[in-house]
Amino acid sequence: MRHPTLSAFIATDAARLAKGPVAIIMAEDEVEVETTIRHYQKIGFRDILLLAPDQISLPSALEETIQRIDHDVHAEGALPAAVNRVIEAAPGTWLFYCFNGEYLFHPFCETRNIRELIAFHAEERREALLTYVIDLYAGDLASHPNAVSLQDAHLDRSGYYALGRPDPANHNHPKERQLDFFGGLRWRFEEHVPSDRRKIDRICLFRAKPGLRLRPDFTLSDEEMNTYACPWHNNLTTALASFRTAKALRSNPGSRYEITDFRWRNSVPFEWHSQQLMDLGLMEPGQWF
């Protein structure tokens, strides 16, 4: 169904968000929009909101299965602002957000859907999951100049690290059970990435509640929801396989002509399977066996 604005959707169809989980996809361009939608339908999201400009086209049969919302996706802070509107309209609902060309993986996603993951996580009295954004990139940029290829996708198998997250309200001492994570293309090509955009962690799957806000750095206003584990044991994490950074580095004139190959000695083909991500330590099953 097509909606002229996010406000119009909320005014007429907000009730359909009550059950969830709901995926919010912001399409910045036409790259892999259809495969992104189908991925989230496959892994078990009950409803999908596609925020997209009018010029992006989709097969009519696919568009009929989602809620398409005309949106200015390039406005400053467009994604956090849109997610916060949905949070206000759907308290209690589990929400997820991403951009086109980003594919969420959770432990054992080949045999267990997203609703099973959320049910287990909620039983552990957790309301949000930490997600690592794992950069994907085409192995052959001559054949795929925008760095996007599902068939020739690669990722870094190492080069990831974490630093304590300073707390300005506590003399910049590290926050409890919070870390800033780095790696992938944003680490290897950091000279082309602003310092405030180098982190690869997001809180992008969470339960909405009154007063909750998504911040520009993809953390939430409730600090406990930004933690990687609860006080008593480690929790599940998820991975977001994303072409977004590679695509940006290839479209930005400042980096496009300096980068002729994203591959290095630690590049490996992406197998599109959760086991590979767990084997590489890029996703943790926690207590979910």
Within this chain, do residues 15 and 111 fall inside the same structural domain, yes or no? Answer: no
Within this chain, do residues 127 and 178 fall inside the same structural domain, yes or no? Answer: yes
In the prediction, which pLDDT does 174 show?
93
Containing structural domain, residue 117: 102-289
- The residue among 84, 100, 116 that closes a domain is 100
Within this chain, do residues 221 and 275 fall inside the same structural domain, yes or no? Answer: yes
Q: What is the pLDDT of residues 43-57, one digit of tens each?
A: 999 999 999 999 999
* Residue 145 CB partners (closer than 8 Å, separation 6+): 250
In the prediction, which pLDDT does 254 show?
86
Joined tokens for residue 239 = 């991975």
Lowest mean pLDDT among 22-26, 119-123, 187-191, 231-235: 231-235
Count Cβ atoms below 10 Å from residue 24 Cβ, excluding itself. Answer: 24
Backbone angles phi, psi at 205, to 5 degrees: -130, 115
Within this chain, do residues 61 and 17 fall inside the same structural domain, yes or no? Answer: yes
Within this chain, do residues 66 and 110 fall inside the same structural domain, yes or no? Answer: no
Report yes or no on whether pTM surpasses 0.85: yes
Q: What is the pLDDT of residues 154-163, one digit of tens each?
A: 999 999 999 9
26: domain CATH number is: 3.40.50
d(CA 270, CA 108): 16
Joined tokens for residue 134 = 């794992």
Q: How many domains does the chain have?
A: 2
Within this chain, do residues 80 and 108 fall inside the same structural domain, yes or no? Answer: no
Reported confidence tier of residue 234, pLDDT bands at 50, 70, 90:
confident
Within this chain, do residues 186 and 231 fall inside the same structural domain, yes or no? Answer: yes
Q: Residue 262, class by beta-carbon neighbours within 10 Å (0-12 exposed, 13-18 middle, 19+ buried)? A: buried
In the prediction, which pLDDT does 53 show?
95
Within this chain, do residues 76 and 152 fall inside the same structural domain, yes or no? Answer: no
Within this chain, do residues 184 and 194 fall inside the same structural domain, yes or no? Answer: yes
- The residue among 71, 100, 129 that closes a domain is 100
In the prediction, which pLDDT does 185 show?
98
Within this chain, do residues 40 and 179 fall inside the same structural domain, yes or no? Answer: no
Within this chain, do residues 233 and 185 fall inside the same structural domain, yes or no? Answer: yes
- The residue among 41, 76, 100 that closes a domain is 100
Within this chain, do residues 84 and 136 fall inside the same structural domain, yes or no? Answer: no
